[in-house]
Amino acid sequence: MSPGGQGGTIVWFRHDLRLRDNPALSAALSRGGPVVPVYVLDQAGEGEGAPGGASRWWLHHSLERLDESLREHGSRLVLAQGEGGPALRALLAAVGADAVYWNRRYEPAAIARDRALKAELAAAGIEARSFNASLLFEPHTVRNKAGGPFQVFTPYWRHCQTLAVEEPGRLPAGPYPAPRRWPQGPALADLGLRPRIRWDAGLGEAWSPGEAAALRRLKQFTARSIEAYAERRNLPECDGTSALSPHLHFGEVGPRQVWAAVKALSRETGVFPSSRGGQVFLSEIGWREFAYHLLFHFPTTPAEPLRREFAAFPWRRDPAQLRAWQRGLTGYPIVDAGMRQLWRTGWMHNRVRMIVASFLVKHLRISWREGAAWFWDTLVDADLAANTLGWQWSAGCGADAAPYFRIFNPVLQGMKFDPEGAYVRRWVPELARVPAEWVHRPWEAGPLDLAAAGVRLGGNYPPPVVQHGEARAAALAALQTIRVNRP
Residues in the chain: 487
User: How far apart are alpha carbons 332 and 228 in whole angstroms?
Assistant: 29
> 68, 315, 409, 443: which is the annotated catalytic residue?
315
> 127, 304, 350, 443: which is the annotated catalytic residue?
350
Residue 391 is among the residues annotated as catalytic for this protein: yes
Residue 144 is among the residues annotated as catalytic for this protein: no
> 368, 376, 427, 438: which is the annotated catalytic residue?
368
C-alpha closest to that of 54 among 379, 385, 341: 379
Residue 368 is among the residues annotated as catalytic for this protein: yes
- Give me the DSSP letters along 322-387: HHHHHHT-SS-HHHHHHHHHHHHHS---HHHHHHHHHIIIIIS-B-HHHHHHHHHHH-TT--HHHH
- Supply the angle between the helices 350-358 and 333-345 in degrees, to the nearest 10: 120
333 Cβ neighbours under 8 A, 6+ residues apart:
414, 421, 424, 428, 431, 439, 440, 442
458 Cβ neighbours under 8 A, 6+ residues apart:
none
C-alpha closest to that of 166 among 242, 260, 81, 237: 260
> 207, 376, 391, 393: which is the annotated catalytic residue?
391
Residue 350 is among the residues annotated as catalytic for this protein: yes
User: How far apart are alpha carbons 114 and 108 in whole angstroms?
Assistant: 10
Query: Of all helices (H) and strands (E), which one includes residue 223?
Result: none
> 64, 83, 127, 287: which is the annotated catalytic residue?
287
Q: Are strands 99-103 and 78-81 parallel, antiparallel or unpaired?
A: unpaired
CA distances from 276 to 69, 113, 226 (A): 36, 41, 9
> 48, 120, 284, 304: which is the annotated catalytic residue?
284
Burial class (CB in 10 A: 0-12, 13-18, 19+), 96: middle
30 Cβ neighbours under 8 A, 6+ residues apart:
none
C-alpha closest to that of 92 among 34, 164, 141: 34
Supply the residues annotated as catalytic: 284, 287, 315, 350, 368, 391
